[in-house]
Amino acid sequence: MFQRTRYQQGTISRVKRKQGPDCWIFRWRETDASGKRVRRTSILGTVEQYPTQTSAWRVAESLRITINEEQPRSAQRPISVAALIDHFKQHELKPIREGENEEGRAYSTRSTYIDILDAYVVPDWGKYKLGEVRTVAVEKWLGKLELARGSKAKIRSIMSVLFNHAIRHEFLPQGTNPITMVRQSAKRMRAPDILDVSELISLFDQLSHRDRAMVLLDVVTGLRRGELIGLKWLDVDFEQLDLSVTRSVYRQVVGKCKTEISQKPVPLDPWVAEELLTWKRATPYNQPEDWVFASRRKKGKQPYSPDSILKRCIRPAAARAKIAKHIGWHTFRRTFSTLLKANGEDIKVVQELLRHATVKMTLEVYAQAVTPAKRQAQSKVAGMLKAGVGVK
């Protein structure tokens, strides 16, 4: 045994084993049910898993949090933000095992939480004890970050969820979330770019068969990018003219849709269906279980990467079409929404076509939009584009 380090809450030792890599051992004392102080020991993991003593201590602190949950609050010791984040990941952001029902946050949401916590919160706030985090200090810190307002607001929101987690597990008293009163506007500095009909037509003329099918389908349905690349041919009903949106793909991980309402059938305009059918005849991956936009490089086992298609194909095509606007996948969804509103469509129809989960107060006075109304609204947008698009 060697390299023992004593902390206020216990000791960590690096222990040699006869076979395999060294491991980290955590030892501490706690009070048992009879009031006696007893020694406890736990193996944290190997040096391959946790190369540094600091990383091993973070695991030990996370373990101590779990131990604290079983102790009276008076016996609990202050924990750090980094340890709380580890506890939050283990309880709220753990991966879904194969065969389990995916409940709670979608994979894309869990990934975003982990990325933000690791990139921003841990480096600047990880060493602080929970009671040391102050509202005004967080507000000033956010103000210094060179990020868009929306990104800062997302960081603030995730930090608030994190501290609510601490309150729920009684690491902090009720009503002591320091992030609640942090002021951070999410208002954009400028309106996001959208494309008008003439720009869309010019873009279509510069796209390949595959990319044209992708963009056309996206701009006339408003699918989110994960839903778009998550489509399989079995989801497309060419007879009933609708799409079944049942999955979303993020970083090549297949998961559930963003919300329950996202899984409602999406109407498919006849012209768009014809374009999609032409693509189905052209792609070698056209069986029911194949991805609609299957990657040739991956031999059809995975869909294309939407970021790669955007960077290598769609944005260069926009440049050739002399479109100076910044284009992302969400541009097509916003454009669809804008064209619907410009056509004077019922706001409830717009809400259902976009498959938003929450309805604002002004939307709640409208009745459920019927499918014919949604189909008619979508077809108007398709007709605007079809009139100016040549046949490919």
> Both 23 and 113 in a single domain?
no
> Both 61 and 117 in a single domain?
no
pTM for this model (two decimals):
0.67
In a domain, 335, yes or no: yes
Q: For the residues of 72-141, what is the DSSP string, one character each? A: -GGG----BHHHHHHHHHHHHSPPPPTTS---SS-HHHHHHHHHHIIIIIHHHHTTSBGGG--HHHHHHH
> Both 335 and 215 in a single domain?
yes
In a domain, 125, yes or no: yes
Q: What are phi and psi of 140, to 5 degrees?
A: -65, -40
Encoded amino acid at 387, one letter: A
CATH number for the domain harbouring residue 240:
1.10.443.10
> Both 46 and 85 in a single domain?
no
Domain boundary (23, 54, 77) is at 77
Domain boundary (146, 172, 190) is at 190
> Both 26 and 155 in a single domain?
no
> Both 359 and 244 in a single domain?
yes
In a domain, 392, yes or no: no
- Tokens 């283990």 label which residue? 90
Coil, helix or strand at residue 306: helix
Cβ pair 382, 272 in contact under 8 A: yes
Distance CA 274, CA 54 (A): 59
In a domain, 391, yes or no: no
> Both 53 and 150 in a single domain?
no
> Both 205 and 73 in a single domain?
no
> Both 68 and 158 in a single domain?
no
Q: What are phi and psi of 12, to 5 degrees?
A: -120, 130
Distance CA 261, CA 245 (A): 10
> Both 316 and 338 in a single domain?
yes
- 336-348 burial, b at 16+ Cβ within 10 Å, e below that, comes to bbebbeeeebebb
> Both 213 and 362 in a single domain?
yes
Dig out the tokens for 2 from the structure. Answer: 């060697």
pLDDT at 325: 93
For the CA atoms of 256, 258, 261, 267, the dihedral, rounded to the nearest 10 degrees, stands at -80
Q: Tens digit of pLDDT per residue, the chain (392 long)?
A: 444 444 446 788 888 888 889 888 888 777 665 667 778 888 888 888 888 888 887 777 777 766 655 555 444 567 889 989 988 998 888 765 444 445 567 788 888 999 999 999 999 999 999 999 999 999 999 999 999 998 999 999 999 999 999 999 888 888 899 999 999 987 776 778 889 999 999 999 999 999 999 999 999 999 999 999 999 999 999 999 999 998 889 888 887 776 566 567 899 999 999 999 999 999 999 999 999 999 999 999 999 999 999 999 999 999 999 999 999 999 998 898 888 888 888 777 777 887 776 545 323 333 345 567 678 888 888 988 888 876 55
The domain of 372 spans 197-386
The domain tally of the chain equals 3
Query: Cβ neighbours of residue 217 under 8 Å, at least 6 residues apart?
Result: 223, 228, 272, 275, 276
